[in-house]
Amino acid sequence: MMSVLVIISLIGLFMPETPGLWVPDKKFNPANVAWMITATIFVLMMTPGLSFFYGGMVGKKNVISTILQSFIAMGIISILWVVVGFSLAFGTDIGGFIGNPGTFFMFNNVGAKVDTFLCPTIPLALFALFQMKFAIITPSLITGSFAERVRFSAYMVFMILFCIFIYCPLAHWTWHPDGFLNKMGVVDFAGGLVVHASSGVAALAGAIFLGKRKQKVHRPANIPYVVLGAALLWLGWFGFNAGSSFAADSIAIKAFLNTNTASATAMMAWIFVDCLTGQKPSAMGAAIGAVVGLVAITPMAGYVSAGQSISIAFIITLVCHTAVHWKNKSTVDDALDVFPTHGMGGIFGALLTGVFVNGLLAGNIKGFLISILAVAIVFIYSFFMSLLLYWLTNKMIPMRVSEENEKLGLDMSQHNESYNFADFGERELREYNDKNDSLEDLKKK
């Protein structure tokens, strides 16, 4: 990995900036530019939010590793996006399937000028930055499925492969004007298919590929972290959805309204369903429900009414709650329920888009059938391509940690850190000795 970064750095030395690239474009809309800068910041905040959301759910010996698996994406994907990711997703179209990797290589020609087709009122660089934040959080969502058992170095390799071979093609198919799903008439306002369905399906494939965890009891380490993470996700999602209008306009306001309404509805619905099934209302349930509502409304946030957003969130919450129940009875160890929440939320959100936006309610059966076809394409491609990428990664670096390291916890075995060193017994302190510092030394520090 270090050698790749060295090569990229050397290439960067010979990539001079195009003259006049940052001269202000007269086509700027200052209000749109200000809003999109704000929205971009909000979307980036979602990844640290996800770190806390997932980090609080795992066992106390895996908190740091789980947080880092999301946080590291801000480094890896940011670099990859500048080098080639943006080109693959939004570069000159090749057959409706992928962008030319040389179009914006190393962000060449990405500056203050607008792009008539992609972003007619904001700089292309700002559009690219906004889209970068989506690329960052998508592989981060997957990590919850194989939490507490994946090797960190292997995960970083998989993240790069996922971005190149799954996320970028899906973004091109759906959001590039010449992408084949876009030309079919598929509607995905802010990433129900591109972000949530793809990551959820990849999470399912990962849980199947890596197998079950060895430890039987899995108690959340810090539920306040989960609530904090959900709150940051809720806040950041306003940029995620409302920013997808790419303008300070009425669509952005509608998306903002629907995002909040759907999240509130799903939070309450999740708690009520828990109560009806004999459970007590919980902070964990409220946090998960709120996130499910955010996922549910994403593909249609700028198009449906506030009343419809309540109905949509309620329906999809019932679906996701049922999916979590079924998963718990299955043999698949999706540790943090990524597929039952993000995957099913994204899939059913896309299907309901074909009902409420461009399909059945408008008397357009073809639009609904197109939504079904799009979901099928994304599911099949994401699932089998993910399995292939897991297999390839595993050939390069074994993806699963040893049973001993899993028992010790990934915080120590992968990062030589601990959420709480007092959690390690004297036997573990004696048996495990890091190359640089023993656990005894680290505990004293």
DSSP codes joined into one string, 190-242: SSIIIIIIHHHHHHHHHHHHH---S-S----S-HHHHHHHHHHHHHHHHHHHH
pLDDT band at 442 (very low <50, low <70, confident <90, very high): very low
pLDDT above 70: residue 20: yes
pLDDT above 70: residue 46: yes
Q: What is the pLDDT of residue 420?
A: 73
Give the CA dihedral 303, 307, 311, 317, nearest 10 degrees.
Answer: 80
Q: How far is CA 427 from the centre of its chain?
A: 39
Q: Take residue 406 and report the two structure tokens written for it.
A: 């899993």
Q: pLDDT averaged over the chain?
A: 93
pLDDT tens per residue across span 254-312: 999 999 999 999 999 999 999 999 999 999 999 999 999 999 999 999 999 999 999 99
Task: Give the integer Cα–Cα distance in Å for 280 and 285.
Answer: 9
CB half-sphere exposure, 17, CA atoms < 13 A: 8
Mean pLDDT of 193-209: 97
Q: What is the pLDDT of residue 25?
A: 82
Instruction: Say what percent of the chain tops pLDDT 90.
Output: 84
Residue from 434, 436, 428 nearest 413 by CA: 434
pLDDT above 80: residue 433: no
Task: Give the integer Cα–Cα distance in Å for 417 and 420.
Answer: 9
pLDDT tens per residue across span 150-165: 999 999 999 999 999 9
Residue 28 burial by Cβ neighbours in a 10 Å radius (0-12, 13-18, 19+): middle
pLDDT above 60: residue 364: yes
Is the pTM above the cut of 0.75?
yes
pLDDT above 60: residue 441: no
pLDDT above 60: residue 114: yes
Task: Give the integer Cα–Cα distance in Å for 198 and 196.
Answer: 5
Mean pLDDT of 385-394: 98
Mapping DSSP onto H, E and C, the string for 400-433 reads: ECCHHHHHHCHHHHHHCCCCCHHHCCHHHHHHCE
Q: What is the pLDDT of residue 377?
A: 98
Q: Is 83:106 a contact under the CB 8 Å cutoff? A: yes
- Domains along the sequence of the chain with CATH: 25-400 (1.10.3430.10), 404-444 (no CATH)
Q: What is the pLDDT of residue 359?
A: 75
Q: What is the pLDDT of residue 439?
A: 47
> CA–CA distance from 300 to each of 116, 272, 291 (Å)?
24, 25, 16
Q: Cβ atoms within 10 A of the Cβ of 126, count?
A: 22
User: What Rg, from alpha-carbon coordinates, does the chain have?
Assistant: 22
Q: What is the pLDDT of residue 17?
A: 83
- Range name among 210-214, 267-271, 291-295, 386-390 with the lowest pLDDT average: 210-214
Mean pLDDT of 69-90: 97
Q: Take residue 138 and report the two structure tokens written for it.
A: 């998508």
